Amino acid sequence: MEKRSRKTIERFGWGALALISLLLAVRLVYFAFQVSQDFEVYWRAVRYWLAGESPYTIRPEDLGFVFKYPPWMIPVLLPFGWMSWSVAKIVWALIEILLIGYSARRLLRLGLSRKSVLWTTFLFWWIWLAHVTAGQITVALMAAALWAFEPGTPNGKGAKNPFRLSVLVVLFSSKIFSLISLLGIYRRLIQARVIAFGLIFLLLSHLVVLGVYRLAGSDIGLVGLYQQWMAAAASGAAELGEEVIRGGGNHGFTAGVLRNLQVDARSTKIDYLVFAVLGLIFGFLWTRFSRGLPELDRWLGWVALGLIVHPLAWHHSFVLAFPFCALSLHRSLESRSRRNVALSVLGICCIGILIPQVIGKEWVRPLERVSVKSWGVFFSALGVLLSARQVGNPDPVARSITRSI
């Protein structure tokens, strides 16, 4: 009798969860249909390309919403160019929701508990809302980071599916600064088949780009296209302005350093320098202190690291922190340490809850000025490292960091 009651309650719970998820998905699609300002940039770029024009066309009315992705990514978006604007943004919103669901399911298959994944997914609601409403592409990077990961040999050289790794490289290359995350699995990437798949994709992609231009009667070449891409990619500061680029809405540690140093937003070379320095520092620290951790922990840490040092880490960009935050909560719950759980929950809340819509602008704005979301990733990392010590991680380097905290 008691077992039946438990099963009934469990079924009711899962049914309620499914209904809530459906309602939230409908809400996401609704907001995406109303806005999708970032996805409109992608859609418009593909339409320009199909018409024989440059996808990097900069118009005064665009106000910073200019296509900044490399030429080899244009064919990936080709199907949307054949759709009307109304249909395209609904289809893209549905794809984003499916990718979020896939990522949560993939974390479960990689060994995370339902409790950690479901709670993190729920607490990230405002991140999902911002991402889908804008129609961003970052959720595809998150899903690819999980899809491509497969535990290999102890030395990290085992690549069971080089095709998946090639897709991962291609997608991360859409946001050039995000490539720093791939340093975490560089041994897997420097293999003949991975490189071959990547080169084949680049060749085919460029052939498709040129083929469409020739069919449209355009004489645009690859050299000119790449020059236009570099100009568009560097146009962000001039178009968006000082308050946006250096404002609290840019949540990375790189932006925080530049904000406090009061560096002009047009000094992009300084941005690159700070990105490189912070990437080197955090990369060294994570490499050192994550020794002895499972491959999954190290990899998701690198994905989150690439986010917090990115020069333009917007609110919606923190979908990339979701896998690491869920992992941190899972490890903390495994350790049965209230301190570790508190750190992991604090990290999640810094990212998903400490936002103007929930707490209020007067409370959140000062926290945003000090990159509170990036600190959330830091707290999640502490949760992972401390939990490794709690369950008896034998690695002396991992113990040294936790002993000093």
The predicted-structure confidence for 37-77, as pLDDT tens digits, reads as follows: 899 999 999 999 999 998 987 776 666 678 889 999 999 99
Report the share of the chain in percent with pLDDT over 70.
87
Average pLDDT, the chain: 86
| 98 found inside a domain | yes
**Does residue 21 lie within any of the structural domains?**
no
For residue 122, what pLDDT is reported? 94
pLDDT of residue 105: 95
Average pLDDT, integer, range 178-190 = 92
Assess if residue 6 is contained within a domain. no
- Work out the number of other CB atoms within 10 angstroms of the CB of residue 281: 12
126-172 pLDDT, tens digit per residue, is: 999 999 999 999 999 999 999 998 875 444 444 568 899 999 999 99
Mean pLDDT of all residues in 294-303:
95
Measured N-to-C along each axis, helices 372-390 and 338-352 cross at an angle, to the nearest 10 degrees, of 160
Place of tokens 């495994």: 334
* Residue 97's pLDDT band (cuts 50, 70, 90): very high
Over residues 304-323, mean pLDDT: 94
What confidence score (pLDDT) does residue 246 get? Answer: 82
**Is 70 exceeded by the pLDDT of residue 374?**
yes
Residue 260 lies in a domain: yes
- Would you say residue 377 lies in a domain? yes
Q: Pick the more confident residue, 46 or 17.
A: 46
Instruction: Determine what percent of the chain is predicted with pLDDT higher than 90.
Output: 59
Q: Which pLDDT value is given to residue 397?
A: 42
Q: In this predicted model, which residue has the larger pLDDT, 155 or 193?
A: 193
Q: What is the pLDDT of residues 100-127, one digit of tens each?
A: 999 999 999 999 999 999 999 999 999 9
Distance CA 323, CA 130 (A): 17
DSSP-derived secondary structure for 129-152:
HHHHHHT-SHHHHHHHHHHS----
**Statement: residue 390 has pLDDT above 80:** no
Residue 239 has pLDDT above 50, yes or no: yes
- Higher-confidence residue: 263 or 17? 263
Higher pLDDT, 349 or 30: 349
Q: Tell me the pLDDT band of 264, cut-offs 50, 70 and 90.
A: confident
In a domain, residue 108? The reply is yes
Which of the residue ranges 31-45, 81-95, 343-357 would you say has the lowest mean pLDDT? 31-45
Query: Number of structural domains, the chain?
Result: 1
Average pLDDT over residues 195-209: 94
Please check the confidence at residue 202 and state whether its pLDDT lies above 90: yes
The answer to the question of residue 222 being in a domain is: yes
Q: Could you give the maximum distance between any two Cα atoms of the chain, in Å?
A: 76
Position with higher pLDDT, 229 vs 390: 229
| Domain limits for position 349 | 35-404
Type and span of the H or E element at 214: helix 192-215
**pTM, two decimal places:** 0.89
- Identify whether the C-beta of residue 308 lies closer than 8 Å to the C-beta of residue 374: yes
Q: What is the rounded distance in angstroms from the CA atom of residue 85 to the CA atom of residue 392?
A: 55
Cβ atoms of 39 and 132 within 8 Å: the answer is no
173, 70 contact by CB (below 8 A) = yes
Q: So what's the pLDDT on residue 404? A: 44
Residue 325 near residue 348, CB atoms below 8 Å: yes
Q: Lowest mean pLDDT: which of 154-158, 280-284, 288-292?
A: 154-158
pLDDT at 158: 45
* Other CB atoms within 10 Å distance of the CB of residue 339: 15
Q: Is residue 321 part of a domain?
A: yes
